[in-house]
């Protein structure tokens, strides 16, 4: 184990970037690690800021992409959810286990994170911090420089690798001290605070919960598609996704393994259908309600399957008729 190396878990936000820089100024060699899950929201977590800092500091980012094993954890978290479908404690344990594996491979002394005590009520309180370290096998090996002075001394202190006076005592949700630190490090244009995790967003969480409850054999494609379109639940194991714009329509039209509903005689969204064939006509009616044209207009669809295509015509109806089938509706 090297006393000069730490694994830095970096999200792309300011806190984890500051923690990494503080550890680097302590004299540690830093291996920055960014974990990408199916629920990262690129709109909320742009790592452009992080990349600029890494380039300045001459550090190379290690990116770890997780898939089904992470989704399985989200489906059945040991320590439950936050307000929506966010299993924050289980998520931190999952991330810490990845960091521990890299730590062992690199011969590092521990990991460093940007966690601030009591900043997030579920995963950054003293009890949660203890649980996360114990479950991940990293007890005493996690350096949290932003709050380290008010936390139990780590093994890194006990081993003389760092001094307690090098640590800070930030606590709570205020960003004042972090902004001061950013200035001292010459950092500008840092991102506003945000979770960057779709699991905390309730409309998205309703769609994910719907998949867990109704789709016996959901795929990772199904999980990734939750980020786009309007989602309708027509029956158990039967689902329709309706595009909202041209970009989403292109994604839906290029997705394999689904039946596609493409309007032929008017402008409108692409529909992606999977499930009970008897529900296909209802799916066409739903997609038609979002097509251009007056109520009562006959919309012709090309129905594309993997091995053949056909046409079907339905009459355009009001969207409100199908509102109860919309998964992300607040009434569901």
Token look-up 């329709």 returns: 240
Burial status of residue 158 (CB atoms within 10 A of its CB: 0-12, 13-18, 19 or more): exposed
State how far the Cα of 136 lies from the Cα of 328, in Å rounded to an integer.
34
Same domain, 249 and 185: no
Same domain, 40 and 180: yes
Any domain includes 118? yes
Same domain, 86 and 73: yes
Q: For the residues of 126-178, what is the DSSP string, one character each?
A: HHHHHHHHHHHT-TT-EE-TTTGGGSPPPHHHHTTSS-GGGS---BSS--HHH
Same domain, 161 and 83: yes
Domain boundary, last residue among 149, 165, 197:
197
Q: What CATH number has the domain bearing residue 100?
A: 3.40.50.620
Q: Which residues have CB under 8 Å from 81's CB, separation 6+?
A: 87
Any domain includes 188? yes
Domain boundary, last residue among 178, 197, 216:
197
The predicted structure's pLDDT at residue 94: 98
Any domain includes 168? yes
The tens place of each residue's pLDDT in the chain, 332 residues long, gives: 557 999 999 999 999 999 999 999 999 999 999 999 999 865 555 689 999 999 999 999 999 999 999 999 999 999 999 989 999 999 999 999 999 999 999 999 999 999 999 998 788 999 999 999 999 999 999 999 999 999 999 999 999 999 999 999 999 999 999 999 999 999 988 888 766 789 999 999 999 999 999 998 889 999 999 999 999 999 999 999 999 999 999 999 999 999 999 999 999 999 999 999 999 999 999 999 999 999 999 999 999 998 899 999 999 999 999 999 999 765 43
Same domain, 38 and 116: yes
The model's pTM: 0.92
Helix 14-25 vs helix 176-184: crossing angle, to nearest 10: 50
The predicted structure's pLDDT at residue 331: 41
Same domain, 177 and 214: no
Any domain includes 216? yes
Any domain includes 332? no
Same domain, 233 and 147: no
The predicted structure's pLDDT at residue 135: 98
Same domain, 214 and 300: yes
Same domain, 207 and 301: yes
Decide: helix, strand or coil at residue 33: strand
Decide: helix, strand or coil at residue 238: strand
The predicted structure's pLDDT at residue 328: 77
Decide: helix, strand or coil at residue 298: strand
State how far the Cα of 262 lies from the Cα of 282, in Å rounded to an integer.
14
Domain boundary, last residue among 145, 171, 197:
197
Same domain, 61 and 154: yes
Decide: helix, strand or coil at residue 202: helix
**CB 106 within 8 Å of CB 7:** yes
Q: Which domain holds residue 99?
A: 5-197
Any domain includes 164? yes
Same domain, 148 and 254: no
Q: Which of 249, 238, 250, 315 is nearest to 277 (CA)?
A: 238
Any domain includes 298? yes
Same domain, 142 and 215: no
Read off the tokens for 224. 């990734």
**Number of structural domains in the chain:** 2
The predicted structure's pLDDT at residue 241: 98
Any domain includes 331? no
């Amino acid at each position: 184990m090297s006393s000069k190396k730490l694994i830095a878990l970096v999200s792309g936000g300011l806190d984890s970037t500051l923690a990494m820089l503080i550890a680097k100024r302590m004299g540690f060699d830093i291996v920055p690690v960014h974990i990408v899950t199916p629920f990262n929201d690129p709109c909320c977590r742009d790592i452009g800021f992080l990349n600029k800092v890494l380039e300045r500091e001459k550090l190379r980012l290690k990116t770890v992409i997780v898939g089904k094993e992470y989704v399985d954890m989200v489906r059945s978290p040991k320590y439950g959810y936050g307000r929506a479908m966010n299993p924050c404690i289980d998520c931190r344990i999952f991330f810490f286990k990845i960091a521990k594996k890299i730590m062992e491979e690199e011969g590092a002394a521990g990991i460093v994170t940007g966690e601030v005590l009591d900043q997030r009520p579920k995963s950054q309180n003293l009890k949660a911090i203890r649980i996360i370290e114990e479950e991940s096998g990293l007890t005493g090996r996690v350096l949290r420089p932003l709050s380290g002075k008010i936390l139990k001394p780590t093994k890194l202190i006990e081993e003389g690798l760092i001094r307690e006076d090098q640590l800070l005592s930030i606590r709570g949700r205020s960003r004042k001290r972090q902004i001061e630190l950013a200035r001292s490090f010459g950092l500008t244009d840092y991102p506003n605070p945000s979770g960057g995790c779709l699991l905390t967003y309730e409309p998205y969480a309703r769609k994910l919960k719907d998949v867990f409850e109704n789709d016996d054999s959901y795929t990772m494609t199904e999980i990734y598609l939750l980020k786009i379109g309007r989602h309708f639940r027509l029956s158990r194991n039967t689902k329709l996704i309706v595009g909202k714009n041209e970009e989403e329509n292109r994604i839906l039209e290029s997705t394999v393994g689904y039946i596609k509903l493409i309007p032929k005689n008017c402008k409108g969204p692409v529909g992606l259908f999977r499930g009970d064939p008897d529900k296909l006509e209802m799916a066409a009616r739903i997609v038609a309600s979002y097509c251009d044209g007056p109520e009562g207009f006959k919309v012709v669809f090309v129905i594309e399957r993997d091995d053949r295509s056909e046409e079907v015509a339905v009459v355009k109806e009001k969207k409100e008729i199908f509102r109860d089938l919309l998964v992300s509706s607040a009434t569901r």
